[in-house]
Amino acid sequence: MTVTATSVGQSDPMPPQAAPSAWRRWLVRLVPAAAAALSGLLLYVSFPPRTLWWLALPAFAVFALLLRGRSWKVGLGLGYLFGLGFLLPLLVWTGVEVGPGPWIALAVIEAVFVALVGAGVAAVSKLPGWPVWAAALWTAGEAARARVPFSGFPWGKIAFGQADGVFLPLAALGGTPVLGFAVVLCGFGLYELARVSLEARRTGTVRRVAAAVGALGVTVPLVAAVAARPLVSDTAEDGTATVAVVQGNVPRLGLDFNSQRRAVLDYHARETERLAAAVDAGRAERPDIVLWPENSSDIDPFTNADARAVIDRAARAIGAPVSVGAVVGKDGKLLNEQVLWDPAKGPVDTYDKRQIQPFGEYLPLRSLVGAINDEWTSMVRQDFSRGTAPGVFTMAGTGVGLVTCYEAAFDWAVRDTVTDGAQLISVPSNNATFGRSEMTHQQLAMSRVRAVEHSRTVTVPVTSGVSAIIMPDGTVSQKTGMFVADSLVQEVPLRSSRTPATRLGVLPEVALVLVAAGGLGWAAGTGVRGRTRR
């Protein structure tokens, strides 16, 4: 049988151009997907403990590059990848002691909100002034994420990555929504400027309206931040108070520290007594106010006489009122409570944590979670109950607002302590569960933003670090190391004036959500459709 050239060619299973064409199609799909995930990772790198706040701007510029002109479906997918790139590394601390399952599940769920924002940004990206609509959509996504599911999870709001940034004064103007909106708008404005500039070089024609939109998107947030700078002050308005922040440390890292509850209480009492000895010897200033962390007494001092005696002895030694973090059983309820302990009278006031942590302090969907992994249900054997009123202790004549740990992420939980009379704010926390992860640094950055937002000194007493004293201008004046026993003593300014952010409350956020809704409505009404990129 003779084999001809034609028969050989016909038997070739792959046409010469098939493979390159297939590879090109895959690259067209993979490159934007990879860029979306990497730009989300870039946004994560802008967050504490790093001080690279400015990286948020190129992260959002790349996000805009990927979404502008796309269909909403493509925007949904790219937004989801951007969200995973950001949230997976940001929230890795949630799996330090319980494994990767809860961490990955949390990031996967929270990234859905970012995906929806991506779809919205793609939809409005062809509207005039699109950076404004798009930035407002990001704020709307954060607003939703802070409320649902299970009362929300605001961790990772853009504002919380800006404690070292030039935009920080905007927190005093309109709170975290305005601060975050300004950062996102500036990032989108940078992309628009770059796009118009490259187009002008290619065509020789400048699109003036688009150039103006990009320029305003960059300059307006920066000018507004400079203009808001006079709102930031650390001047004392109501005199000063000397505060002591006590970090007693824990016997060991992780969830197992709970089995050493008495040791944790003893450590904090011992550190307070050590401070009292230093005061008596003239080596430290005598405090007016002493602040212990959350869970510094996981033994209920109202039912355990031994625990009560330990706290009494420490309070008498230091000779000042002490705010003690305790786990308290009351009328069949389990409460995460701050107890105001007078050195002469004992416990005189309490504050019950209101924003309790799902899957940490209570277990939603308990039967479903137990069916997946019964070990998780054993970690939260009894659900904590919620408090109902803001906590403001009167300590040595000073109004001290209590915002317990997780509550610092929620705008309302901080604001209503100030509107209820707080002249300084304390954020007692327990980070021992999360080891040496970035969690404590992320939470410290939140407290710095809150200090500027409400123009109050903020103290952060933590069981195992990083404890800190933060001035009303957001600067950290003192801080401890991690997993060491230490105490911080400082005279701090007391303030009672209210910033615009405090007075306005939720209104700036509502306004930006309405802007986002208006942009989506306009896009839907005009039939704006994304083009398919080739």
Answer for the pair 337, 351: CB distance below 8 angstroms, yes or no.
yes
Q: Check pLDDT > 50 for residue 5.
A: no
Annotated catalytic residue, options 142, 271, 294, 407: 294
The answer to whether residue 73 is catalytic is: no
According to the model, what pLDDT value does residue 253 have?
52
**Tens digit of each residue's pLDDT (9 = 90 or more) over 272-327:** 999 999 999 999 999 999 999 999 998 999 999 999 999 999 999 999 999 999 99
What distance in Å separates the CA atoms of residue 333 and residue 330, rounded to the nearest whole number? 5
Annotated catalytic residue, options 142, 186, 337, 353: 353
Q: pTM for this one?
A: 0.91
Query: Looking up tokens 């954020």, which residue turns up?
Result: 427
According to the model, what pLDDT value does residue 461 have?
98
Annotated catalytic residue, options 405, 407, 438, 453: 405
**Tens digit of each residue's pLDDT (9 = 90 or more) over 164-197:** 999 999 999 999 999 999 999 999 999 999 999 9
Indicate the pLDDT class of residue 8, thresholds 50, 70 and 90: very low
Q: Check pLDDT > 50 for residue 132.
A: yes
The answer to whether residue 491 is catalytic is: no
pLDDT above 90: percentage of residues in the chain:
78
Supply 24's token pair: 């090109």
Question: What letter does residue 431 receive in the DSSP assignment?
Answer: -
The predicted model gives 513-520 an average pLDDT of: 97
The answer to whether residue 353 is catalytic is: yes
Beta strand pairing status for 391-395 and 398-402? antiparallel
Q: Check pLDDT > 60 for residue 532.
A: no
Average pLDDT across the chain, whole number: 91
What distance in Å separates the CA atoms of residue 321 and residue 396, rounded to the nearest whole number? 7
Instruction: With CA atoms as reference, report the closest residue to 495 among 243, 225, 241.
Output: 241
Find all residues with CB under 8 Å of 380, minimum gap 6, and list them. 359, 360, 361, 362, 363
**Tens digit of each residue's pLDDT (9 = 90 or more) over 451-482:** 999 999 999 999 998 999 999 999 999 999 99
